[in-house]
């Protein structure tokens, strides 16, 4: 999708989302809306595109989403706070075990590298 870092365009993630999150159960729908509103729309779209690239085994796009997208969105939204916990993105990516492994790896790398109040190696 992207040729080089210069071509990386976060506006791609800012388009309208057509995800199906409402179930008809008021309690579940309220929980869905709470998670959806607490996460910026570009981050939601990014996670969906990253998941698709991973499931399609498109190594070029996986590398690009990791090298460019993750770092860009981290700087913009999560420079001093952790990314959302894995459980809180399940309403976006479903119960995709492979993607959740990748996300958790990136999540914990971010915490160890950038979050001052995060865990230490002691």
DSSP 67-116: IIIIHHHHHHH-SSSPPPPGGGGHHHH-S-HHHHHHHHHHHHHHHHHH-T
d(CA 9, CA 103): 21
Is 50 a domain residue?
yes
Give how many domains the chain has, as a whole number.
1
| Structural domain contains residue 27 | no
The two tokens of residue 89 are 């993105």
Name which residue leads in pLDDT, 25 or 73: 73
Place 24 in a pLDDT band, splitting at 50, 70 and 90: low
Average pLDDT, the chain: 79
Residue 105 has pLDDT above 70, yes or no: yes
C-beta of residue 73 within 8 angstroms of C-beta of residue 43: yes
Give the separation between CA 2 and CA 114, rounded to whole angstroms: 27
**Is 31 contained in some domain?**
no
Q: Which residue has the higher pLDDT, 61 or 119?
A: 61
Range of 3-12, 29-38, 107-116 with top mean pLDDT: 107-116
Reference 116, options 75, 78, 76, 80; nearest CA is: 80
Higher pLDDT, residue 30 or 78:
78
Model-level pTM?
0.67
Domain range holding 47? 40-122
Does residue 47 lie within any of the structural domains?
A: yes
Mean pLDDT value of segment 72-88: 93
Token code pair at residue 79: 């420079």
User: Is 5 part of any domain?
Assistant: no
66 within a domain of the structure (yes/no): yes
């Amino acid at each position: 999708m992207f040729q080089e870092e210069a071509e990386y365009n976060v506006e791609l993630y800012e388009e309208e989302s057509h995800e199906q999150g409402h179930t008809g159960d008021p309690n579940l729908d309220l929980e869905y809306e709470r998670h959806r509103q607490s996460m910026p729309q570009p981050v939601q779209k990014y996670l969906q595109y990253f998941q698709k690239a991973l499931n399609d085994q498109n190594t070029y796009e996986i590398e690009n989403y990791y090298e460019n997208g993750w770092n860009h969105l981290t700087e913009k939204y999560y420079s001093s706070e952790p990314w959302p916990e894995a459980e809180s993105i399940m309403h976006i990516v479903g119960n995709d075990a492979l993607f959740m492994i990748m996300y958790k790896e990136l999540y914990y790398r971010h915490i160890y590298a950038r979050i001052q109040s995060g865990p230490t190696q002691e």
